[in-house]
Amino acid sequence: MFNSLSDRLTATFKNLRTKGRLSESDVNKTVRDIRLALLDADVALPVVKEFTSAVRERALGAEVSGALNPAQQVVKIVNDELVSILGGETRKLRLAKNPPTVIMLAGLQGSGKTTLAGKLGKFLKDQGQTPLLVAADLQRPNAVTQLEVVGQRAGVPVFAPERGNIAGHDAVTGAIEGTRSFGDPVAVAEAGIQEACNKLYSVVIVDTAGRLAVDENLMQQAADIRAAIQPDEVLFVIDAMIGQAAVDTAEAFLHGVDFTGVVLSKLDGDARGGAALSVASVTGRPIMFASTGEGVKDFEVFHPDRMASRILDMGDVLTLIEQAEKAFDQRHAQEMERKFLAQEDFTFDDFLQQMAAIKKMGSLKSMLGMMPGMGQMRAQLDALDEREFDRVEAMVQSMTPFERTHPKQINGSRRARIAKGSGVTASEVNALLERFGEAQKMMKSLARGGGIPGMPGLGGGAGKKGRQPAPQRKKSKSGNPAKRAAEARASAAKGSGGSAFGTPSGTSRLDASALDTSQLPPGFEKFLGK
């Protein structure tokens, strides 16, 4: 989404790193480049003016002039201002003290409200809530059916008493206690909340209708639903790819419905991302969630500080860690740690478990994109074929349980069978086994504290045991008898190998003849054996 903006800002900051001090002209040029980058990303003009004005004022102050590294200080200022226009801090859902919590979704048609209802339901379900989706969009053809399909994928129940618009024709079939037609979205929303109360659902997510453009009927219907159900949260779902139009749409919904938070959808697209940088600042409402794909798991809490780091190509390691904690089993991680410290072989069974955990985390490209500095390797990331992992998994699955734990026993005939079973060539199986063997050696080397082969200075790891220095080889005795006798006398004089009291080894008594006994007390001679 922010590739173009990220590239331009990175290039701007790269030019600053060569300067030891920043003059006013340097700051003005940097601010001008930032302004052009934001305008090119389709950010709203008032937001651009406010942003660049704040950056210029701080960059010309003592904050930068007294810094040891002015370029890094300017990057910090830009990061702080990006966090500010993106909302400042993370805003979480406000849950009702007395369930159910009612969440209403609003937005234009095509913004992704129905898909997002399922994603939000899955997100809340994973947090221990019991959500219910209510199909109150009765105008868009097959909207109810779509919500049922999304709810089934997310594992969340859907309340849909009315089929709504099917193939362009209204399908109004019943009434609620003789008061309103089931075709009335307000009545459906009210009935959905009553259903949640009766069956003790903790959260109700109401999917409402949209239009291709803002009109009076849309606003009136959304306002009527809000007045009837009194939601705890009204989430405005906006397509992050519509650019400047996002600001006008957001302002119209703000005055017509008065939403409490924003959800950005389609952040995985290739648009310039101006909506994300504009809507929070213009409306004064926080961005709460972001939708990053078509799957029900492609949904995350919006963190302004982490999004600013992504834009500046500084990565998002915290989100990556959170995803890993959710995907990796704690007991398996402890078992892997035990194997590593015990220097046990890493097997193909362990490899399969690691592969399954990585798949739970989502797309490998998106995970690698969260690493700092990966924006400079975007071409390599785009060329990454994630289907290669499926082929590797197929080869491992074609192995017998014995072969997975004893890869060295896989001979030529076994390799041919594995290749045939997985639909690959024998050379690909050979390459896999060769890489796996190198990985086993590297893990053992790390466990012994030897570091990664070919990378000096990485020894002394946690698994390194206290190793005693290698004993020195004893020098052979000289062949010269006179020299050999001299060495023996020197060794005896040092007292090496003596007893605890300093008596040379092999000597049971002192040599009394070598002592001067004239100074000893009377009668002490008997202790010397004289």
| pLDDT, tens digit, 9 for 90 and up, residues 229-286 | 999 999 999 887 776 777 888 888 888 888 999 998 877 765 566 766 788 888 888 8
Q: Do 20 and 134 belong to one domain?
A: no
CA distance 241 to 502: 87
- For residue 274, the model assigns a pLDDT of 72
- According to the annotation, is 208 in a ligand binding site? yes
Domain count, the chain: 3
* Distance in angstroms (rounded) separating the CA atoms of residues 200 and 223: 26
Query: Mapping DSSP to helix (H, G, I), strand (E, B) and coil, where does residue 527 land?
Result: helix
Tell me: is residue 461 an annotated ligand-binding position: no
Distances (CA, A) of 254 to 103, 216, 248, 463: 16, 14, 10, 58
Instruction: State CA 254 to chain mean position distance.
Output: 33
**In sequence order, which ranges of 172-273 are alpha helices (DSSP H)?**
185-198, 216-229, 245-256
pTM over 0.75: no
User: Has residue 47 been placed in a domain?
Assistant: yes
How does pLDDT run across 347-380, given as a tens digit for each residue? 888 777 777 777 776 666 666 666 665 555 656 6
pLDDT score of 129 more than 90: yes
User: Binding residue per annotation — 268?
Assistant: yes
Does 139 count as an annotated binding residue? Answer: no
- CATH code of the domain in which 414 resides: 1.10.260.30
pLDDT of residue 258: 87
207 marked ligand binding residue:
yes
* Inter-axis angle of helices 216-229 and 185-198, nearest 10: 30
To the nearest whole number, what is the mean pLDDT of the chain? Answer: 75
Q: Is 397 annotated as a binding residue?
A: no
Residue 266 and residue 126 in one domain: yes
The annotation status of 232 as a binding-site residue, yes or no, is no
The answer to the question of whether 459 is labelled as a binding residue is no
| Residue at a domain's end among 53, 85, 117 | 85
Q: Is 366 annotated as a binding residue?
A: no
Give the pLDDT mean for 61-82. Answer: 75
Q: Give CA–CA dist 82/91, Å, rounded.
A: 16
Amino acid found at 301: V
Residue 210 annotated as lining a ligand binding site: yes
| Separation between Cα atoms, residue 86 and residue 303, nearest integer Å | 9
**Residue 100, preceding bond cis, omega within 30 degrees?**
yes
Give pLDDT, residue 282: 84
Q: Please check whether residue 471 lies inside any domain of the structure.
A: no
Predicted confidence (pLDDT) at residue 181 exceeds the cutoff of 60: no
Domain shared by 55 and 171, yes or no: no
Complete DSSP assignment for 126-164: HTT--EEEEE---SSTTHHHHHHHHHHHHT--EE-S---
Residue 393 CB partners (closer than 8 Å, separation 6+): 352, 355
* The two three-digit tokens of residue 121, written as one number: 């339901």
Does residue 502 lie in a domain region? no
Confidence (pLDDT) at 306: 82
Expressed as residue numbers, the domain containing 72 is: 3-85
Same domain membership, residue 361 and residue 244: no
Instruction: Give the C-alpha separation, 261 to 136, whole Å.
Output: 20
- Is 306 domain-assigned? yes
Q: Is 211 annotated as a binding residue?
A: yes
Task: List, as one string, the DSSP characters of 366-389.
Answer: HHHHTSTTGGGGHHHHHT--THHH
CATH number of the domain residue 81 falls in: 1.20.120.140
| Residue where a domain terminates, one of 291, 312, 333 | 312
The C-alpha atoms of residue 429 and residue 403 are separated, in whole angstroms, by: 13
Q: Give the domain-ending residue among 447, 471, 500.
A: 447
Query: Which residue, among 117, 57, 105, 98, has the nearest Cα to 81 in the 3D structure?
Result: 57
